[in-house]
A and B are shown apart, each in its own frame.
Chain A
Amino acid sequence: KNQQTTMSKYFGNS
């Protein structure tokens, strides 16, 4: 089953 990832996995806090 496909799991939904979130933005924090890719983009860090600037």
Chain B
Amino acid sequence: MFEAKLDRGIVLKKILDAINQLVNEASWECTSSGMSLQAMDTSHVSLVAVNLNGDGFSKFRCDRNMVLGMNLVNLSKILKCAGNDDKVTIKAADGDDKIKLIFEAPNEYEVSQYEIKLMNLDAEYLGIPETSYNVTVKMPAAKFQRICRDLNQIGDAVTISCTKSGVDFSATGDLGNGSVSLSQNSSFDKPEDNVTISMQEPLSQTFALKYLNQFTKATPLCSQVTLSLSPDVPLVVEYKIIEENEEDSKNEIGHIRYYLAPKIDD
């Protein structure tokens, strides 16, 4: 028996919005410690990994490990039927070929139930080694989204260059070129606007903007995004999954990490 309840169903909607264009089908691995998902896009250039901690749920029970393979586009459709303030419960019985989704409205007299068929998916699970990254840039998620969108007007790829003075995002295309430079800054009043750069050695790598623009669909989850880079390994774009409660308290309940293989010179 698996049962997981989130008090703010909108968090699940945001997670699905962040991944369902990159991957259409994926398996959730459910264990006593939480739910996780790992999947590559069809061209195997990028990989998304979602992790939700069991203790981030208001109720979490997983008697035995389960793999819930499903069509994420369909899951997204059903989650659209939940109100943003609804409590959302996911239930799966051992050996069943479907999961149940229960939406409880805040008024406490309206309950909706939906079922989705599960799928047997051939999971290609990749081992992601622990890496210590040369460069880590923490910046406003909305700023990163804006930069990726703007530079995609110029070209298909962005070159991210880090030096002592800051981080440069640049693109070149038929019409010309463009770049956005950010230097480290911190604001006591607005920590969500901070840019934090930690760097061991200068580095420059090029990535396809098509994928980065898909990753920025996770922007509503968290005010800051972390980019981690090292030579010859995929870029990691990480968003914390933050649940905002009625009292305006913020609770980190997991993360989404996107990995993107770099473009390299022929």
A-to-B contact residues, CB < 8 Å: 1-14
Contact = CB atoms under 8 A, between A and B. Distances in A.
Contacts, number: 56
B261 A5 contact: yes
A13 B125 contact: yes
Contact of B126 (A1, A4, A5, A11): A11
A8 B81 CA distance: 37
B126 A13 contact: yes
B262 interface: yes
A7 to B, nearest CB: 5
B206 interface: yes
B208 A14 contact: no
Interface residues of B, number: 25
Contacts of A10: 232-234, 261
Contacts of A5: 45, 261-264
Contacts of B45: 4-7
Top 7 A-B pairs, shortest CB-CB distance: A14-B127, A2-B263, A11-B126, A5-B261, A6-B44, A7-B44, A7-B47
16 contacts: A1-B266, A2-B157, A2-B266, A4-B261, A5-B261, A5-B263, A6-B44, A7-B44, A7-B47, A7-B261, A8-B44, A8-B126, A11-B47, A11-B126, A13-B126, A14-B127
A13 B125 CA distance: 6
Nearest to A5: B261
Contacts of B124: 13
A12 B40 CA distance: 13
A7 B234 contact: yes
Interface in B243-266: 259, 261-266
Given A2-B157, A2-B206, A7 B127 contact: no
Contacts of A9: 261
B264 A2 contact: yes
A13 B261 contact: no
A2 to B, nearest CB: 4
Nearest to B40: A7
